[in-house]
Amino acid sequence: MHVRDGLATHLTVAQRYDHLVETGAVKRDSAQERVVKELDLLIDRIQDKRMARKSRALGWLFGKGKKTSDPIMGLYIHGEVGRGKSMLMDMFFDIVPARAKRRVHFNDFMANVHDRISRHRQALKDGKTMETDPIPPVAAALAEEAWVLCFDEFTVTDIADAMILSRLFSALFEHGVVLIATSNVDPEHLYRDGLNRGLFLPFIKLLKEHVKVLNLVADTDYRMEKLNRLPVYMTPLSPETDQMMDEAWDSVVDGGKVAEDHVEVMGRKILVPRASRNAARFTFAELCEAPLAARDYLALTQRYSTLFIDHVPVMDLPQRNAAKRFILLIDAMYEAKTRIFVSAGARPEALYLATTGVESFEFARTVSRLTEMQSREWADQSAAAAITAG
């Protein structure tokens, strides 16, 4: 282990990546290795700038101050979900020799920015500041807190964000902030089809002037490989099963922001208690004991490529209405090739006990489909359908 200027520098991103390959945690991938090389080069530039800052501080102390060095070009790494972008970002963030650094989900960062802007405007209203424009002081405070900014899941969907990004990041870059971001989209497609997108285009130009854009086109979807090793039908219901569902959910979400969502159907809004990107999670009661119909389930499968269903009970004739909805739900998921994760009170063939009524006959189809949806072939079909839909 080596220590340089009080900071541990015993590993480069390349060394840490090689260690993961050697231990079998990941497979070596040439596309990932190209990104690893760029991350290590960026670490070197950040270290050089850090040392230059210290030299300038000493120079000022002895009357030998120098001009500020040129800004550092950051990185914008984009590619499909599951290509290892977040993993590489984590390795970079752990190693980069900067004390004033921050790794944050982009949406959380922007929510914090809007909070700061609101507080500044309130301070102006209260006469506590004479600065009418909140962007410069907010940017200055952010840059003081962290001059190396790592954003996971860089995306722009909110018009309020879109309208301030150009001015905000112009100010951040002027303060010497270095940006490293991962995203699922090319910078040119940010805020695509957004309202008043023309006003957003200067930000794209600014961004490309301050980051090197890398497309991570990996051969393997590593997140999908991990998911394919997870059970998708978990029984019986127990705390252990709940934990397995939570672990599967965490793998699917992959660090993404989880929030409440709504899907509109025929003027009505279906509450989605937990959603992240193209995945949603419900309890059986929320999906099948609520007054939902086939068109509602179709809308959900059109919106989400993966659905989690917690706590499917063993049903009998008194639960025939819920069983009917469950049949409709599985039919919709089957037709849409939706990926499923479910915790249930019994295996599919033992979920519905009634031997009379149309549901008893129809549930045989549900059993067959639930069995098929547990296969590796189904997971591959689901992944292909999700990519096509996206």
**Over its length of 390 residues, how does the chain's per-residue pLDDT go in tens digits?**
344 444 444 479 999 999 888 888 778 888 899 999 999 999 999 988 877 766 655 443 433 333 345 789 999 999 876 678 888 998 999 999 888 999 988 878 988 999 999 999 999 998 998 989 999 999 999 999 999 999 987 888 788 888 899 999 999 999 999 999 998 888 998 888 788 888 899 999 999 999 999 998 765 555 555 555 668 899 999 999 999 999 899 888 877 789 999 888 888 889 999 998 889 999 999 999 999 999 899 999 988 989 999 999 999 999 999 999 999 999 999 888 899 999 999 999 999 999 888 888 889 899 999 988 887 777 766 655 554 444
- Topology of domain 3-215, per CATH? Rossmann fold (3.40.50)
Closest by Cα among 144, 41, 147, 141 to 101: 147
Distance CA 228, CA 242 (A): 19
Amino acid 212: pLDDT: 95
Domain segments of the chain as ranges = 3-215, 229-389
Q: What is the pLDDT of residue 224?
A: 55
Q: Residue 61 is inside which H or E element, if any?
A: helix 30-61
Q: How far apart are CA 187 and CA 138, in angstroms?
A: 24
Q: What residues have CB less than 8 Å from 61, skipping those under 6 apart?
A: none
What is the model's pLDDT at position 145? 95
Q: What is the pTM of this model?
A: 0.58
Dist CA 185 CA 192 (whole Å): 10
Question: According to the 3-state scheme, what is the secondary structure of 338-357?
Answer: CEEEEEECCCHHHCECCCCC
Nearest-angstrom CA–CA distance, 255 and 276: 9
Q: Which structure tokens are listed for 317?
A: 């004739």
